[in-house]
Amino acid sequence: MGETRGNPEVILISSEARLISALLRSSRVRVRCFSSTADYDAWRAAGTRETAVLGSLVDRLVDCDGYPPQLQLALDWLRNQASVPPLKVFAEVACPRRTFFRAWSRAVQISPAEFLQRLRALHARALLAHGATAEDAVRLTGCRSVCVLRQLLLRWH
């Protein structure tokens, strides 16, 4: 457990979305999740310069006023992540996936997959603008390759 700007922070390394969800529901501390020790080590090696970007990017894409609590919790979790997670992980963070998708479709006009794609594109642009390599941007945005990253950036230009 660490501390960020006076707020307690928990570092969790787990690919188990249910564990992450349970921790988020029962805790008032900031939780930063990584799916592997390699992701955590990469985050530590890079420092915090690239991690502060994701929260503001989420806010640029959605306005959470009036969103159901499950979506607000999922988006709060997303704001604190070092990289854009896969849709399955994002959808299971705060509630069962079925509940998440129903709440999302009622509250947001774009699909969660499209939202994450747009977030990946914004995150990649921010990373590249701050001097990250294409390989770092691929890793931190959740893209499979530099080619996929290029296609993503062209699509959401």
Which tens digit of pLDDT belongs to each residue from 102-121? 999 999 999 999 999 999 99
The rounded distance, in Å, linking the Cα atoms of 94 and 72 is 9
The rounded distance, in Å, linking the Cα atoms of 62 and 74 is 12
pLDDT at position 35: 64
pLDDT at position 141: 86
H-helix or E-strand containing 149?
helix 146-155
pLDDT at position 33: 66
pTM above threshold 0.75: no
pLDDT < 50 regions, the chain: 1-4, 48-52
List all residues 6 or more positions away from 19 whose beta carbon is below 8 Å from its beta carbon.
12
Q: Classify each residue of 95-104 as buried b or exposed e, where b means 16 or more C-beta atoms within 10 Å of its C-beta.
A: beeeebeebb
The rounded distance, in Å, linking the Cα atoms of 62 and 58 is 6
H-helix or E-strand containing 33?
strand 30-34
pLDDT at position 79: 87
Long-range contacts of 31-35 (CB under 8 A, 24+ apart): 31/77, 31/80, 32/80, 32/81, 32/82, 33/77, 33/81, 33/85, 34/82, 35/85, 35/89
What sign does the dihedral 34-86-108-20 (CA atoms) show?
negative
pLDDT at position 127: 87
pLDDT at position 90: 92
The rounded distance, in Å, linking the Cα atoms of 134 and 140 is 10
The rounded distance, in Å, linking the Cα atoms of 106 and 68 is 9
End-to-end CA distance of the chain: 39
On whether the CB atoms of residues 77 and 94 are closer than 8 A, the answer is yes
